[in-house]
Amino acid sequence: MKSLSKAAETFGAVVRLDTAAERLIIDSGRRVVGVVARQYGQTVTVRARKGVVLCAGGFIFNDSMIADYLPDCLENASKTGTDYDDGRAIRMAQAVGAAVQNMGSSEISTPVAMAIAAPSVLVDGTGQRYINEDAYGGRLGLASRQRRRNGVFLVFDEHIHTDYLAVRERLGVESISALAANRIMPRATPTWVCETISELEESAGIPAGSLETTIDLYNKFAAKGEDPLFHKEPRWLRPLRSPFAAIDLRDANYRMFTLGGLRVRPSGEVLDLDGFEIPGLYAAGRTSAGIPATNYVSGISLGDGTFFGRAAGTHAATSNTG
Ligand SMILES: Cc1cc2nc3c(=O)[nH]c(=O)nc-3n(C[C@H](O)[C@H](O)[C@H](O)COP(=O)(O)OP(=O)(O)OC[C@H]3O[C@@H](n4cnc5c(N)ncnc54)[C@H](O)[C@@H]3O)c2cc1C
């Protein structure tokens, strides 16, 4: 951030601190020509000769927008983002006719560390696998959260648990900041430990025989390094052996942030409900519905915000304002 700020100032950008944009100003031709903002407790206006680029983050901390677009986020979720991810910029643009897109899309991180998920078996309340357990954490999170009301269980064995504890120890998890470390690699304390899968079924309320069938099939192919159902990488495949354990993920806390936002062109131009550009208005980052809104993986939000933010700035600076 420091390098970006320094570069912007070198090119003549003026930085205004403690300045929160509140409303857009439009002229009689519907062109966005400035903003009304609060600066050190005063209302100020800023004239935009070329355009306004909105890049004020998402809306995870706007309870009313969350209730409208992501009501599932109201329970068992840790909302994450900057304090000002309050959807203000999205609302400002909507007030001048902007359309929104993919507002129900969010990043949902897995509530268990990927290091223990990958060699384990994730099943739903009927004992069925639903994903390759070595998938990206956001995909595990999304798929698991969708099923959590009917049951989500991470099933592993003593061997996997021991390996996981060794990884934690090797990375010095106990010695670094407990909060940060435990977010990345939680303790993975089993909810149940059982000698047999049928005991586990009974404890978890999974229909008798269904998890047994799943584990039998998984083990049969894992022994050959194969996963014909979900194509997990062979390095994570090993048959599960007694004693077994499972973590109940029904009440797990999932970390979330929003990905939907204003509908934009690749140039950053904001579109209205009819699909026309709103003259002088641009958006980038999580104020817009960019690439992450359909397919989030780590890095893609910062990459998208930087790339398309630059494109928006360039387009605005070189546009013919008439
Ligand atoms: C724990 C965590 C881990 C993450 N890991 C990754 C990762 O590995 N890779 C990745 O790509 N993404 C990651 N993300 C997501 C990524 O950090 C965000 O999606 C990204 O920072 C969004 O950038 P942005 O510029 O759109 O918004 P923000 O970074 O939220 O910046 C918006 C800025 O606008 C300011 N602002 C807000 N409202 C106003 C207003 N009204 N007027 C003026 N200024 C305003 C805010 O103060 C803030 O400075 C992670 C997020 C979290 C929470």
Which residues, 6+ apart, have CB-to-CB distance to 301 below 8 Å?
107, 259, 285, 286, 290, 292
Tens of pLDDT, residue by residue over 41-62, are 999 999 999 999 999 999 999 9
Nearest CA to ligand 1 atom 11: 299
159-164's contacts with Cβ under 8 Å and 24+ in sequence apart are 159/238, 159/241, 160/116, 160/119, 160/120, 160/238, 160/240, 161/116, 161/188, 161/190, 161/245, 163/119, 164/113, 164/115, 164/116, 164/188
Place 82 in a pLDDT band, splitting at 50, 70 and 90: confident
pLDDT digits (tens, 9 = 90+) for 224-259: 999 999 999 999 999 999 999 999 998 888 889 999
The rounded percent of the chain whose pLDDT value lies above 90 is 71
pTM as predicted: 0.89
For tokens 């077994």, the residue is: 244
Residue 243 structure tokens: 């004693």
Mean pLDDT score of the chain, rounded to an integer? 92
Closest Cα to atom 1 of ligand 1: 80
Nearest CA to ligand 1 atom 25: 285
Q: Whose CA is nearest to atom 14 of ligand 1?
A: 301
CA of 95 to the centre of ligand 1 (A): 22
Ligand 1 pocket, mutate which of 18, 46, 257 (most atoms under 8 A from CB): 257
Pick the residue whose CA is nearest to atom 5 on ligand 1.
Answer: 298
Q: How far is the CA of 277 from the centre of ligand 1 (A)?
A: 25
Could you tell me the CA-to-CA distances from 141 to 5, 30, 64, 94, 157 in Å, in that order?
34, 42, 24, 30, 21
pLDDT in tens, 285-309: 999 999 998 878 888 999 999 999 9
- The answer, yes or no, to whether residue 182 has pLDDT greater than 70, is no
Compute the 3-state secondary structure of the chain and give helix, strand, coil in percent, each to the nearest 5: 35, 25, 40
Tell me the pLDDT band of 178, cut-offs 50, 70 and 90. low
Among protein residues, the one whose CA lies closest to atom 18 of ligand 1: 301
Among 84, 254, 288, residue to substitute to test ligand 1 (most atoms within 8 Å of Cβ): 84
The set of protein residues with a Cβ atom below 6 angstroms from ligand 1 is 20-21, 55-57, 80-82, 84-85, 88-89, 257, 285-287, 298-302, 305
pLDDT tens across 127-166, in order?
A: 999 999 999 988 999 899 889 889 999 999 999 999 998 8
Nearest of 114, 96, 85 to residue 35 by alpha carbon: 96
**Ligand 1 binding pocket mutation candidate from 24, 35, 90, 302 (most atoms within 8 A of CB):** 302
- Cα(72) to ligand 1 centroid in Å equals 21
Ligand 1: residue whose CA is nearest its atom 48: 56
pLDDT higher than 70, residue 112: yes
**What number does the ligand 1 atom closest to the CA of 302 have?**
11
Rg of the chain over Cα atoms, rounded to whole angstroms, equals: 24
pLDDT tens digits, one per residue of 94-105: 999 999 999 999
Ligand 1 site-directed mutation target among 35, 52, 92, 286, most atoms within 8 Å of CB = 286
